[in-house]
């Protein structure tokens, strides 16, 4: 919708709140939109009823749109709660008078359902009030039903006009129900969506390392437990460590060290198989889990990774430098527990460190 269009201006005016504190802008917008729909509905009914030539029916039909127009205009001057209450009373009165004048067969009684939905959506909490209101509407509907079956309508309409009014009333009843349900369910869905997104962010924060964006140690242990408990294919696990990382921090500063950690993490994500589980195990250590790869296949993937990392060049400020990693790789034997596997991978990493670094020990 264009900002300067007529429809945009109308919509902004409908949604304009009352300017009072602690009042729902959504509720006053719904009140006004529902009042407008009732205004249009009563105008159409006024034109149809005028065909009967009945003076009393015409007076009542003309009074209806005037009533709803007054409610709409006054909603800009009253509080939201006052507008809400007056609209409910007007719809109740208007429904009862229509049934009194024209009888049960025009279908106007179903506006009581609109009021029920309106109250349940619009009022936050206040459950006892909602239940009492629902019971009152139910009793009123029963009373009107039995009243109509024992009393003749004041104005007898022919069958054709009764059918037309039944159709018009049904349309506006569904329109009003859809309007109330849509506007308030949209808010609920937006809130639910925000809550889901917020929970997703919290879950991500709880499961990932802040600096690198990789999974953290806690999430890794959960993944390993689930993976090994349902293992139906080969699994390989690797613990790798940046060689001489303390020297990088001491020589070039911790900011450069952070860049190294993030760059290596990005390289892991780009160069390893897509289903590899990559985590920051702690400090300069990383844990890589290869589901569905045996040791030889994982070793091949690691060798490609090793070469890519060796080709990286980092800016240390006064000089460029390169780094390397050492890798300790084990293959799951279907009976060792997590502690045993991690200890074995760590021992192989230590062997690699002792034998020159920048190598894969399997």
Token output for 275: 């289903």
The three-point CA angle 255-260-266 to 5° equals 125
CB 297: neighbour CB atoms within 10 A? Answer: 15
- CA 362 from chain centre, in angstroms, equals 47
Calpha distance 103→144 (Å, rounded): 9
Residue among 3, 284, 319, 344 flagged as catalytic: 284
Please spell the DSSP secondary structure of 301-326, one letter per residue: HHHHHHHHHHT--EE-SSSEE---EE
Calpha distance 351→254 (Å, rounded): 27
- CA 145 from chain centre, in angstroms, equals 42
The H or E element that residue 279 is part of is strand 277-282
Calpha distance 261→214 (Å, rounded): 11
C-alpha distances in Å from residue 113, one per residue of 117, 120, 169, 180, 232 = 6, 11, 13, 12, 57
CB 63: neighbour CB atoms within 10 A? Answer: 14
284 has catalytic annotation: yes
What is the phi-psi region of residue 282: left when phi exceeds 0, alpha when psi lies from -120 to 50, beta otherwise?
Answer: left
Token output for 154: 């004041």
Give catalytic residue positions: 284
């Amino acid at each position: 919708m264009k900002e300067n269009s007529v429809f945009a201006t109308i919509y902004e005016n409908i949604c304009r709140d009352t300017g009072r504190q602690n009042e729902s802008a959504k509720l006053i917008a719904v009140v006004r939109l529902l009042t407008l729909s009732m205004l249009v509905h009563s105008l159409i009914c006024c034109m149809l009823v005028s065909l009967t030539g009945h003076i009393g029916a015409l007076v009542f039909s003309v009074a209806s749109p005037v009533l709803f127009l007054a409610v709409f205009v006054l909603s800009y001057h009253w509080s939201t709660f006052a507008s809400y209450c007056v609209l409910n009373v007007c719809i109740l009165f208007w429904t009862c008078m229509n049934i009194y004048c024209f009888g049960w067969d025009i279908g106007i009684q179903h506006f009581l359902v609109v009021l029920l939905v309106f109250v349940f959506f619009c009022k936050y909490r206040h459950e006892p009030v909602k239940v009492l209101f629902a019971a009152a509407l139910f009793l009123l509907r029963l009373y009107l039903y039995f009243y109509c079956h024992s009393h003749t309508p004041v104005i007898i309409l022919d069958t054709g006009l009764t059918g037309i009014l039944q159709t018009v009333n049904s349309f506006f009843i569904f329109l009003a129900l859809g309007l109330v349900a849509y506007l308030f369910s949209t808010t609920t869905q937006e809130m639910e969506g925000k809550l889901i997104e917020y929970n997703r962010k919290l879950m991500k924060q709880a499961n990932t390392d802040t600096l690198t964006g990789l999974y953290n140690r806690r999430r890794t242990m959960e993944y390993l437990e689930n993976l090994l408990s349902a293992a139906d294919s080969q699994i390989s696990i690797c613990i790798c460590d940046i060689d001489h990382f303390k020297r990088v921090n001491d020589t070039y500063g911790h900011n450069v060290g952070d860049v190294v950690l993030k760059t290596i993490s990005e390289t892991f994500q780009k160069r390893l198989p897509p289903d590899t589980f990559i985590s920051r195990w702690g400090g300069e250590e990383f844990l890589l889990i290869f589901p569905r790869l045996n040791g030889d296949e994982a070793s091949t993937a690691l060798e490609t990774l090793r070469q890519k990392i060796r080709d990286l060049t980092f800016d240390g400020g006064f000089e460029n430098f390169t780094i390397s990693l050492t890798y300790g790789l084990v293959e799951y034997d279907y009976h060792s527990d997590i502690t045993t596997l991690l200890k074995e991978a760590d021992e192989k990493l230590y062997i690699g460190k002792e034998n020159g670094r920048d190598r894969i020990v399997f």
